[in-house]
A and B are shown apart, each in its own frame.
Chain A
Amino acid sequence: MAHAIRRPLFRKPSVLPGFGLTLGYTLAYLGLIVLLPLAALVVRGTGLGVEGMVEALATPRVLNAFRVSISTSLAAAIVNTVFGLVVAWVLVRYDFPLKRVVDALVDLPFALPTAVAGIALTALYADNGWIGQYLAALGIKVAFTPLGIFVALTFVGLPFVVRTVQPVLEDLDREIEEAAASLGATRRQTFRMVVLPYLSPALMTGFSLAFARGLGEYGSVIFIAGNLPNVSEIVPLLIVIKLEQYDYAGATTIGVAMLAMSFVMLLVINLLQNWSRRWSTG
């Protein structure tokens, strides 16, 4: 009976079996597949020392790759936030033909392999492509320029904002908008001062998810980017190039830098999601 009054240190007692087995397997599998390899990267990277890492990162080519990756991801995430809000709004508030098909299609970038998206977008936006030929006539080159990277990242980031805003918008009580209207607010004022603040945590979460995805994206970008060093070369491609040259130290350093950026984005996204949850529940 002594067990019954002892406060649980690690877990609450339960009549269900299998806790030790399943937790053990989960931890072992997680450790072997995810944590050990990630630790290998971090240890190999820090083994180079701060000086070695800075030296490997502070070359013009690497810095330019970071500039290209960050600026194109940012631009794509901004465009996706604006249009993602419009798409989510239309899907939640209005009725139109084939709405369900359109709703399902939004997830296409999650389902379509990135290499397939990459060659398809290149076929569309090359100078002789379906869309590219009209843009080329206007003097706009998309494929094989940073603009092409932006197009690819817009494609892969598209579902994030729509799918984070959509459920929040569905939960928004129409009575709040009615109250605003009955107090004399115009539709525009209601949207700007009531609806938009309510959606802003979700919008920022979606923006961050799209941005983080853009930073790491590889498959859809390399076909359309042209991969010109210092101009349209993204950071993940630089890791691949360093590996092909057997420059493991260089690849490791850039890998650690990218991992650090992923962790920062993960932290930001977690904070935003917590804020969003508190915001929408009261």
Chain B
Amino acid sequence: MVDGVMTSETADAPAPAPTAEPWPVRWLLIGTALAFLLLFLLLPLVAVFIEAGREGWEAYRDALVEPDAQAAIGLTLLVAAISVPLNLVFGLCAAWCIAKFEFRGKSLLVTLIDLPFAVSPVVSGLIYVLLFGAQGWLGGIVGELGFKVIFAVPGIVLATIFVTFPFVARELIPLMEQQGTDEEEAARVLGAGGWRTFLWVTLPNVKWGLLYGVLLCNARAMGEFGAVSVVSGHIRGETNTMPLHIEILYNEYQFVAAFAVASLLAGLALVTLVVKSLLEWRYAGELAASHRH
């Protein structure tokens, strides 16, 4: 166009925006991004399912119905069933006092709630070993009471609660702050009690955000490896969660069995991603602002 050469094609097309890249650059960038994601994200995901199915359906099924695998699946479900509701209640409490009231030291409290995300999973396990282990502060008391925390299920639950601690709270706090207190105050003025206000006004307003937080919390609770590995003691059939069972199978060169169990967790991850994306698309306005892409 600059040279005055105007074919029919360029005449019909709108003038290129001054803020757009020429198409070769555009396609080069898209190609680079997709190649990077294919190499580092899609291939590992596909590899899990293909390696799991390498020896056919029978071998796949055998790996999952075997008693140790069943025990690992059961323990993983149990640990998630305890830790997710506890963090859910905590998340609601923390969000209520932080988002609906003004008080001193609030930002410090928010930082402390986020702390577990900054700590290495292995350190998250280590702190419970130091606290409840044989020479730990509480190890003696717990031992005298006849409890076992480390190398037993309670330790696994505690470590899981720690690593999934912030998920629900950090989803609800910005959401409830954004919604303010007008509706709750109106409910109170109209005569509703505290519980009624919470159940009928606050909870419906945050339900999708709550589901979002619980979903991510659950995915991490079922998949946690490092923290759980440190406190578990790896007793087969007793203190092995699914990720730990995968490690044992893999180290014993039972690759198909390892990938078969891994495929269940990969399936969970995919379901988590699909539901999460659906929530982000459909209920963007009812999630915390950070998720509105």
| A residues with CB within 8 A of B | 10-12, 14-19, 21-23, 25-27, 29-30, 33-38, 40-41, 44, 83, 86-87, 89-91, 94, 96, 100, 102-117, 119-121, 123-124, 130-131, 151, 154-155, 158, 166-167, 170, 174, 177-178, 181-182, 187, 190, 212, 215-219, 223, 236-237, 239-240, 243, 248, 251-252, 255, 258-259, 262-263, 265-266, 270
Contacts and interface: CB of A to CB of B under 8 A. Distances in A.
A33 B165 contact: yes
A252 B130 contact: yes
Contacts of B48: 116, 119-120
A103 B33 CA distance: 11
Nearest to A219: B225
A156 to B, nearest CB: 10
Contact of A15 (B185, B250, B276, B277): B185
Given A41-B123, A216-B122, A248 B135 contact: yes
Most chain B beta-carbon contacts within 10 A, residue among A91, A248, A255, A263: A255
Contact of B41 (A16, A37, A106): A106
29 contacts: A10-B103, A12-B102, A15-B188, A19-B97, A22-B96, A40-B127, A44-B130, A83-B36, A89-B29, A104-B274, A107-B273, A108-B45, A108-B269, A111-B223, A111-B272, A114-B223, A114-B243, A116-B223, A120-B47, A120-B51, A123-B47, A155-B40, A158-B40, A212-B118, A217-B120, A219-B226, A259-B123, A265-B118, A266-B118
B100 interface: yes
Contact of B127 (A37, A100, A111, A182): A37
What DSSP secondary structure best describes chain B's contact surface?
A: helix
B230 interface: yes
A30 B225 contact: no
A16 B120 contact: no
A37 B162 contact: yes
Contact of A112 (B45, B162, B230): B45
A52 B221 CA distance: 36
A41 B36 contact: no
B116 A34 contact: yes
A38 B131 CA distance: 9
A182 B18 CA distance: 8
Nearest to B48: A120
Contact of B94 (A11, A15, A26, A258): A26
A113 B243 contact: yes
Contact of B93 (A26, A40, A236): A26
**Main secondary structure on chain A at its contact with chain B?**
helix
Nearest to B276: A107
A26 B99 CA distance: 13
Contacts of A216: 119-123
Contacts of B127: 37-38, 40-41, 255
B291 to A, nearest CB: 9
A94 B293 contact: no
A119 B262 contact: yes
A108 to B, nearest CB: 5
B216 A110 contact: yes
B224 interface: yes
Nearest to A182: B18
Contact of B126 (A83, A86, A116, A239): A239
Interface of B: 18-19, 21-22, 26, 29-30, 32-34, 36-37, 39-45, 47-48, 51, 90, 93-94, 96-98, 100-104, 109, 111-113, 115-116, 118-123, 126-131, 133, 135-137, 158, 161-162, 165, 181, 184-185, 188-189, 194, 197-198, 216, 219, 222-226, 229-230, 242-244, 246-247, 250, 255, 258-259, 262, 265-266, 269-270, 272-274, 276-277, 281, 290, 292-293
Contacts of A12: 101-103
A36 B158 CA distance: 13
Contacts of A33: 158, 161-162, 165
B251 to A, nearest CB: 9
B103 A11 contact: yes
A200 to B, nearest CB: 19
A167 B293 contact: yes
Contacts of A182: 18
A2 B229 CA distance: 58
B258 A119 contact: yes
Contact of B185 (A16, A18, A124, A167): A16
A11 B33 contact: no
Nearest to A69: B120
B100 A40 contact: no
B151 to A, nearest CB: 11
A224 B13 CA distance: 51
Contacts of A239: 122-123, 126, 230
Contacts of B97: 18-19, 22-23, 26
Contacts of A116: 48, 223, 243, 246, 262, 265-266, 269
A14 B181 contact: yes
Contacts of A14: 100-102, 181
Contacts of A104: 273-274, 276-277
